Amino acid sequence: MWKEIGDREFGKLRPNLFSNLVKSSRTASLQLSNHKEIVSSHRGSVNSLQVDLTEGRYLLAGAADASVAVYDVQCASDREADGLIAKHKPLFVVDKQHEQGHKYGVSTVTWYPIDTGLFVTGSYDHHINVWDTNTTQVVMNFKMPGKVYKTAMSALATSHMLIATGTEDVQVRLCDIASGAFAHTLSGHRDGVMSVEWSKSSEWVLITGGCDGAIRFWDIRQAGCFRVLNQSDSQLGRRPALLACSAANKASTSKSSPAGPSSSVKSRLLQKKMANGNSSKHTSPSKTTTQVKGSMKQRLHPGMLSTQDRATAHYGAVLGLSATQDGMYLLSAGSDSRLRLWDIESGCNTLVNFEIARLQASKPLQLATSQDSLVFVPCMSTIKAFDFWSGKTVLSFRGHYENVNCCWYHTEDQELYTGGNDRQILVWSPPNSTANEVEEWRKGQASALDQDNWSD
C-alpha cells in the first residue's frame, strides 16, 4: 500500500483508482472486530439488518422475538478495556410490550431511503408497519394476506413512495406511503414470494423471486412482468464490450447484405403466388388454426402470458436477490444451494460456477455486495465472500454459533454486519492500526519496566 500512496503523491494514480485500491485492500483484510462491539438486545434470531443510506450511521435490526432496535455504529455509548473496545448499545428498542408493536417475529426491516425519520418493518403477523423514528409510533399500517417475507423501497425513486412486499401469497403488492393504500398488485408467481429487489438503474423496475423458482422483472407502470429468467438461457462470462458488439453487428450486416435482394425477390414471388391462389393446394386447416392461435396468444393480456410462462431460475425457492452497485448484474441464491449471476440487460445466466455452498432453506437470506466484485452469502453458520467472475471463495468468516440469516456491507467504512440465530450481531472490520500501535507501545513499556540497571 505504501507504493500506491507514493504513486498517488506523485500523480501516477488517479484519485478514484487510489480510493478503490484502498477500499479493496481494507475489504480483503476483514476480520472479527477487536475494537467495535454491538450489544444485542434481541432474544430471538436476528433476521434482517440495514444501515441507513443517507448518513451511514444508524443500523436497523429486526429479530424473531418481534423486536426492532436501532444502533449508532459511529458513536459508541460505552467503552471498555481502557477505551480500546467501543460498545454500541441500542438507541431504542420496540418489542411486544409496545402497544403498536408486532405480535410475531419481524422478518424484514427497511429504512426510508430519503432520511432516517421513517423505517418500515414486516412481520409474520401479516402486518407491515411504518414507524416514526423520533416518536417510535406507527404512522401507517398495512394488512397483508399472509406472512411477510421481504420489503424493499427504491433508493432512486423521485416520483413514488412505494413499498414492494413479498409474502406467502402469490401476488406481489405495492404499498403507497403517500396514500396509505395498496397501489396495485403484480400477478405471475405460482407460489409465495420470498425476495424482492428494486433495480439500481430504474425507479420503475422491480425484481422478485418466488418459491416457485422463478425470478421475474416488472415495470410497475405496465401490467404483467416483461421478463422471466431462465437458467437454460446462458452466455459465458461478462457482457461483451460495446465496441466488439458493434463490430460484430457490422460484420453480420455486411455478410447478409449480398443476399438481401434475392431474398426480397423470393418473398415478392411468394406473395404473388398467394395473391393468385396458386398456393392454395399447400395450405391446410391445421396451419390456419395454428396461425389463429398464435395471433390470439399475442393478443392475450400480459398478466396471463406471465402466468403461462414456466421458466425457472432455480430448482427451488429463490431465497435472496442482490443487484450489483452498477445495476448491470443480479445475483440470486436458491434453496437448491445454488448461486447464479445474471446479466440484467440480456436476462442470461452468465454460467459462473460458484463453489459449493450449503444454504438454509427455511427462511429468506439477505445477501450483500461490495464495490470490488464480492458477494457475501450466509452459508449456514459461516459467511462466505465469493468473487463474481470466478465463483471462488475469497473470504470465509466464522464467528456465529448458529445459522446466519442476514448480512449488510457498509460501503463507506468497509465493514460487514451479520446477524444469526444465536441472537448476536457481529461486526467484521479491517484491523485497527491505532489499537495495534497502543498494544505495541504497552508491551514496550512493560519490557522497559522489567529491565534493571545492573543486568547486561
Within-domain flag for 119: no
Residue 358: its pLDDT value, please? 85
**Domain coverage including residue 150:** 144-238+303-352
State the pLDDT confidence band at 190, using cuts at 50, 70 and 90.
very high
State the pLDDT confidence band at 25, using cuts at 50, 70 and 90.
confident
Q: Cα angle vertex 405, ends 312, 421, to 5°?
A: 140
**Eight-class DSSP state of 423:** S
Residue 307: its pLDDT value, please? 45
Q: What is the mean pLDDT of residues 33-37?
A: 90
Within-domain flag for 322: yes
Residue 366: its pLDDT value, please? 94
Do 361 and 347 fall within a single domain? no
CA distances from 128 to 88, 103, 442 (A): 27, 12, 52
State the pLDDT confidence band at 305, using cuts at 50, 70 and 90.
low
Strands 393-398, 382-387: pairing is antiparallel
| Among 321, 352, 383, residue at a domain's last position | 352
CATH of residue 187: 2.130.10.10
Mean pLDDT, the chain, whole residue set:
81
Residues 336 and 316: their CA atoms lie apart, in Å, by: 5
User: pLDDT: is 228 or 454 the higher one?
Assistant: 228
Do 226 and 320 fall within a single domain? yes
Within-domain flag for 403: yes
Residue 227 confidence (pLDDT) above 50 = yes
Closest of 91, 44, 98 to residue 69, by C-alpha: 91
What letters, b where the CB count within 10 A reaches 16 and e where it falls short, cover 406-441? Answer: bbbbbbebbbbbbbbbbbbbbbbbbeeeeeeeeeee
Residue 4: its pLDDT value, please? 67
Within-domain flag for 65: yes
Residues 224 and 212: their CA atoms lie apart, in Å, by: 17
pLDDT per residue over 74-130, tens digit each?
988 888 877 788 999 999 999 999 999 999 999 999 999 998 999 999 999 999 999
Residue 455 confidence (pLDDT) above 70 = no
State the pLDDT confidence band at 442, using cuts at 50, 70 and 90.
low
Do 311 and 381 fall within a single domain? no
Quick one: how far is CA 189 from the chain centroid? Answer: 19
Q: What is the mean pLDDT of residues 253-267?
A: 45
Closest of 221, 223, 225, 232 to residue 210, by C-alpha: 225
Closest of 376, 337, 392 to residue 359, by C-alpha: 337
Residue 91: its pLDDT value, please? 95
pTM of the model: 0.79
Cβ proximity of 119 and 112 under 8 Å: yes
State the pLDDT confidence band at 194, using cuts at 50, 70 and 90.
very high
State the pLDDT confidence band at 278, using cuts at 50, 70 and 90.
very low
Within-domain flag for 200: yes
CA distances from 200 to 112, 153, 206, 344, 370 (A): 16, 11, 10, 11, 14
| Among 352, 377, 409, residue at a domain's last position | 352
Do 219 and 318 fall within a single domain? yes
Q: What is the mean pLDDT of residues 233-238?
A: 80
State the pLDDT confidence band at 183, using cuts at 50, 70 and 90.
confident
Residue 276: its pLDDT value, please? 46
Which of the residue ranges 11-25, 284-298, 318-332 would you say has the lowest mean pLDDT? 284-298
Residue 229 confidence (pLDDT) above 80 = yes
Do 325 and 381 fall within a single domain? no
Within-domain flag for 212: yes
Residue 449 confidence (pLDDT) above 50 = no
Within-domain flag for 150: yes
Q: Which residue has the cell 461478462?
A: 238
Residue 284: how many CA atoms within 13 Å on its side-chain side? 4
Do 210 and 324 fall within a single domain? yes
Residue 282: its pLDDT value, please? 40
User: pLDDT: is 433 or 313 the higher one?
Assistant: 313
Do 150 and 223 fall within a single domain? yes
Do 347 and 392 fall within a single domain? no
pLDDT per residue over 353-404, tens digit each?
998 788 887 889 999 998 888 999 999 999 999 998 999 999 999 999 999 9
Within-domain flag for 40: yes
User: pLDDT: is 284 or 44 the higher one?
Assistant: 44
When divided into structural domains, the chain yields a total of: 2
Residue 262: its pLDDT value, please? 44
Residue 265: its pLDDT value, please? 43
